[in-house]
Structure 1
Amino acid sequence: MAATPPHPAVSSHTYTIAGVLVTVHGLAELPPSVAAAACLWLLHPRLQARETMAPIAAQVISAWNARVHSGTAGRHPNGLVAVAFDQRNHGSRCVDPLHNEAWRQGNPRHVQDMFSCYHGTATDTSLLIDHLESYVFNTPASPKITHHLALGISLGGHATWHCLLSDPRITAGVVAIGCPDYTRLMTDRARLSKRTTYTDTTPPGASFLGSPDFPPALRDAVAQYDPAGLLLPAHFNPVGADSPPSLDRFKLLVRERLHGKKILNLSGKADKLVPYAAGEPFYKILKHVLSRDESLQIGFDDVLFDGVGHAFPQSMADKATEWICEVLVGEERDVTSKI
């Protein structure tokens, strides 16, 4: 699923931090005189592991270092490292493979398992931000990590939304084939999977939410952490007409959680597993609000790729790489303007 860009591998060092194996890419390539570094957190897809993210780590770090060496990264450019770790129940942390599978593969708790997994990933990312620097930059002469960004693919894309909403230290994120509306996404998946909790009601799907496939306690968790559930509670109706949005509350929470952040959303037009349509109602409201209130200072770039399904092809990797480099240049300018 992840891209395999034609870039030479960069260095990698693996640490055990908070009981989690954490691979840091690009330490050996940091310029010796660099005083500050940005950290790109790489969140892998479902059924994959941290090694999946090594190619995109190499591509982004190589592109940024090329800018630094050519003098196009600003007057005082940050170094860049990328960090990958196994999401819960994946890779070195796997305790039960069935719980990573979907309904069709025999996992009756697919909805609970997936949401709790990537909610846990956002929690783990914040925990590792707390401790990473003490492991990799632990001398007085070491660089300081001054910026945190995230790039997530599929399951990792869902998690990136949570990271952006929950941790003020993460100021930019690339959401690749992810979704901000878990309720709509999984209601549609229940329809496609012909779950009886969806099909055996009139109209179909009317009782899916709150059923054993989407229990009440999960609805509560979605309302607390999911972008659509948190920012626009009770607005979206996956099986009927949406209610009028409460934009005052939306603006208040967006300002509180996302002010000054930048988001790149990458989707495939032919994606059937995480269709763009599942997130589109949320994107429309977000774009509407952002276009009318520049004081929010939130950048949201929404890019659809023709002919791309549920995949992270080279075209997406290239777009993400260029965007991350531009974000890093912009952050360097912001710091310089304050000096």
Structure 2
Amino acid sequence: MALPTDVFELADSIPRSSFTKVNIAGFFVYLYGIDELTPDQAKDTTVFIHVHGRTRTYKDAEEMAHELLHQQRARGGTKKGLVVATLDNRNHGIRAIDTMSIQDWKGGNPKHAQDMLSMMKGIELDVKTMMDFLEAYFDGIFTPTEYIMTGTSLGGHVTWDVLAEDPRISKAIIIVGSTDLTSMLVERLGGYSSVSEVPTGTPEWPKSIERLYVERDKRLREIKGKKILILNGDIDPLVPSKFTRPWLDQCAASNEVAFVEQEGFGHGVSYQMMDSVADWVLKVLV
């Protein structure tokens, strides 16, 4: 048996669910589990949207999709249907046009701050477009009646944004995502503890991008009435939990929040996290 701190990998013994792809607005949406829906489930289907991390591709969602759908069936199924949907983020996978702009400062990209936030906004728009049109593309096959968002790393940041901006998302799972990108980025840039410490004129951190990050983080503090599962590793060097804790202190009481920080785990999805995702989703799949 794998140790709970191991990075999650799908076992060969887990059956693979059906796979479908559709072009919506010029990008592919990849869906898992459509063929397994019963007629009743197809009339009332929850779509679980996963957004992958920076430098990764839609394939990151595949193992999670197969595991989640297998656990749904192994536990006796659910009245509501479940389909997992994902996509290649902008400038990733088959949508890649500039590999340098998905790197961070250490990777040689001087515009990491601009590239990450603008890409996040684009992914948010893609997710909203997918939700707008998915039913029309699968008319007569299945009917999306609810959407749940999740994402890992960059995808976790985007999940926070969609949770704040789109009323269709009332439930979300954030895996190693941050509510305070401003503080996280300036620490990543030069070990600064606040934006006030960044020297004026620093080319990697212009005031114009700082304003956009501050506005983004402020919107997240206005989230209310949502059901949220937050999963972090306590030794994550890229997206430390310390940047989420202030949001928990200020905003958790206005939402239904479960926060799980896994001891001895870093950046990624562990077996324990995957079990938490499945348990949480199948409990809310009513």
Question: In the alignment, does 2:240 pair up with 1:303?
Answer: no
1:217 corresponds, among 208, 220, 223, to 208
User: Higher Cα Rg: structure 1 or 2?
Assistant: 1
Q: Which runs of 5+ in 1 are unaligned?
A: 193-197, 233-252, 291-295, 333-339
- CA distance in 1 between partners of 2:201 and 2:48 (Å): 37
2:158 partner letter? A
**Native 8 Å contact 2:182 2:195 kept in 1:** no
Q: Is the 8 A contact 2:160 2:220 kept in 1?
A: no
Return the alpha-carbon distance in structure 1 between the equivalents of residues 238 and 232 of structure 2: 11
The answer to whether the 8 A contact 1:175-1:263 is kept is: yes
Q: Give 1:266's aligned amino acid.
A: L
Judge conservation of contact 1:153–1:175 (CA < 8 Å) in 2.
yes
Tell me how far 1:68 sits from its aligned partner: 4.4
The higher relative CO (CA closer than 8 Å, separation ≥ 6) is in 2
1:204 offset after TM fit, Å? Answer: 9.5
Deviates more, 1:83-92 or 1:2-11: 2-11
Q: Distance in 1 between matches of 2:200 and 2:110?
A: 15
**Structure with a larger share of its residues in helix:** 1
State the percentage of identical aligned residues. 30
Q: 1:304 to 1:210 in 2, by over 3 A?
A: farther
- Residue 188 and residue 207 in structure 1: after superposition, are their counterparts in 2 closer, same or farther (change >3 A)? closer
Task: Tell me the CA shift for residue 117 of structure 1.
Answer: 1.3
Residue 233 of structure 2 contacts residue 264 of structure 2 at CA under 8 Å; is this kept in 1? yes
1:230 maps to 219
Selected match of 1:45 from 53, 63, 68: 53
Looking at structure 1, the residues matched to 135 and 202 of structure 2 have their Cα atoms a distance apart, in angstroms, of 44
Whether 1:11 and 2:23 are equivalent positions in the alignment is no
8 A Cα contact 1:5 1:314, kept in partner? no
- The structure 2 residue matched to 1:56, chosen from 59, 64, 89, is 64
Structure 1 Cα separation of the partners of residues 114 and 7 of structure 2: 25
Q: Any conservation in 2 of the 1:222–1:230 contact (CA below 8 Å)?
A: no
Q: Which residue of 2 aligns with 1:120?
A: 122
Which residues of 2 match residues 160-239 of structure 1 at below 5 A? 160-192=159-191, 206-208=197-199, 211-224=202-215, 226=216, 228-231=217-220
The 1-side partners of 2:172 and 2:201 are apart by 31
Alignment match, 1:326: 283
Counterpart code for 2:146: H
1:124 to partner: Cα distance: 1.0
Say which SS state the counterpart of residue 88 (structure 1) adopts.
coil
Once residues 19 and 2 of structure 1 are traced to their aligned partners in structure 2, the CA distance between those partners, rounded to angstroms, is: 33
Please state how far the C-alpha of 1:134 moved relative to its aligned partner: 1.3
Cα distance in 2 between the residues matched to 1:131 and 1:307:
41
The one-letter code matched in structure 2 to 1:270 is I
Q: 1:182 to 1:308 in 2, by over 3 A?
A: same
| Preserved contact between residue 21 and residue 92 of structure 1 (Cα < 8 Å) | no
* Partner SS for 1:82: strand
Aligned counterparts, 1:283-302, within 5 A: 283-287=248-252, 290=253, 296=254, 298-302=255-259
User: In the superposition, relative to structure 1, how do residues 144 and 68 fare at CA in structure 2: closer, same or farther (>3 Å)?
Assistant: farther
Provide the aligned length of Structure 1 versus Structure 2: 278
CA distance in 2, matches of 1:82, 1:88: 19
Gaps of 5+ in 2: 1-5
Q: Would the aligned equivalents of 1:210 and 1:219 in 2 still touch at CA under 8 Å?
A: no
CA contact (8 A) 1:191 1:205 kept: no
Alpha-carbon distance in 1 for matches of 2:153, 2:122: 15
CA contact under 8 A between 1:208 and 1:214: conserved in structure 2? no
Calculate the aligned-residue CA RMSD, in Å: 2.2
What is the alpha-carbon distance in structure 1 between the residues aligned to residue 266 and residue 171 of structure 2? 25
